[in-house]
Amino acid sequence: MKILLTGAAGFIGTHIGRIARERGHEVVGLDAYLEAAHGPDVAPDPAIVRRDLRTHDVDDLLEGIDVVCHQAAMVGNGVDAQDLPAYAENNDAATARLLAAMARAGVGDLVMASSMVVYGDGRYTCPTDGDVPPAVRRDDDLEAGRYDPRCPVCGGDITWREIDEDTTFLPRTSYAASKVAQEHYASAWCTLQSGRAVALRYHNVYGPGMPADTPYSGVAAIFRSAIARGEAPRVFEDGRQVRDFVHVHDVARANVLAIEQVTSHPVGLTAYNVASGHTFTIGEMAATLSRAAGGEAPVLTGDYRRFDVRHVVASPAAAREGLGFTAEVAPHDGLARLAHDPLRTR
């Protein structure tokens, strides 16, 4: 197959391109080389077309393309509300322009990067009120060290549960809102063009080549950078926040499987969670990194941000059934390797 890969020079895109070529596909790489991801002095790969989807058409690059794999995005949760326009422009407007170009070129198959952040906080079960979304965490609870959310009905204790792809969207950050919008644009494009789209909702991706410590880095990179500086990782709240950490190799494999199978999907958008299937707490992740690197033990700061997600874990069952995808790298092994993996520096 001939694939147009956006974000081809990025953390995940680099791995997708490599695996796709190893499986015999032809890859046309495209990247804007945004400074937030690559730094101001990046040396572009001459094999990758440097073009910004926000401002430049890509009609010429779509000639002969079988499927588009859309990874280009501004990532991370953002810093504050002032980031909203940048996420809307880089993620949503750019995606809309790409979809319009695909319609002009007659390209009808899309694989796109989405994220578990579309769900916001996970879903919970209350012994009295059953399955519920979490109530917004209260400042007095957070200040008192009560970090788990309450039931939105009775205000009592709730326990997290595994969620699936039918879970309602509840975005909590600029990035999350932009990912919801990207999925909606893709769904509308499918309806208008009788297209097929596969949206892969990544969980916490880590591995070699991930961006080092910036305001837009993931927590694994932030901890890894602190350890490299000889500092103890500083863990917010009590460190018991539950996540699923999935290795970039597995995320890239999921994309290539989706590329190879998108034509067998029905018209419309099909979403899959891409996860390792192993729960891990933020505190456990920090401790694993520190032990593997021989660094300082993590420090539980008790600090919090009201908008942070407490627990979110999704089932990988649909991706296993629909794509034949099962993660190969267990978090204990992959996170230990991350202690010595090279990071992308700016």
Output b/e per residue, 327-346; b: 16+ Cβ within 10 A.
bebebeebbeebbeeebbee
What pLDDT score was predicted for residue 80?
78
In whole angstroms, what separates CA 111 from the centre of its chain? Answer: 14
Element (H, E) at 142: helix 139-143
Would strands 159-161 and 123-126 be described as parallel, antiparallel, or unpaired?
Answer: antiparallel
Neighbours of 68 (CB within 10 A): 28
Q: What is the pLDDT of residue 161?
A: 94
**Encoded amino acid at 57, one letter:** D
Q: Give residue 219's pLDDT.
A: 85
pLDDT computed for residue 214 by the predictor: 62
- Please answer whether residues 242 and 160 qualify as being in contact, where contact means their C-beta atoms are separated by less than 8 angstroms: yes
Q: Tell me, what amino acid is at 218?
A: G
Q: How far apart are CA 201 and CA 265, in angstroms?
A: 17
Residue 40 is predicted with a pLDDT of 64
Intra-chain end-to-end CA distance of the chain, in Å: 33
Residue 46 near residue 56, CB atoms below 8 Å? no
**339 and 289 Cβ atoms separated by less than 8 Å:** yes
In a structure prediction context, what are the per-residue pLDDT tens digits for the chain, which is 346 residues long?
Answer: 999 999 999 999 999 999 999 999 999 999 998 876 776 667 788 889 999 999 999 999 999 999 999 999 988 766 678 889 999 999 999 999 999 999 999 999 999 999 999 999 889 999 999 999 999 999 999 999 999 999 999 999 999 999 999 999 989 889 999 999 999 999 999 999 999 999 999 999 999 988 876 655 678 888 988 998 999 999 999 999 999 999 999 999 999 999 999 999 999 999 999 999 999 999 999 999 999 999 999 999 999 988 889 999 999 999 999 999 999 999 999 999 999 998 877 6
Exposed/middle/buried for residue 240 (C-beta within 10 Å: 0-12, 13-18, 19+): middle
The pTM (predicted TM-score) of the whole model is 0.94
pLDDT given at position 286: 95
Look at residue 35 in the predicted model and tell me its pLDDT: 72
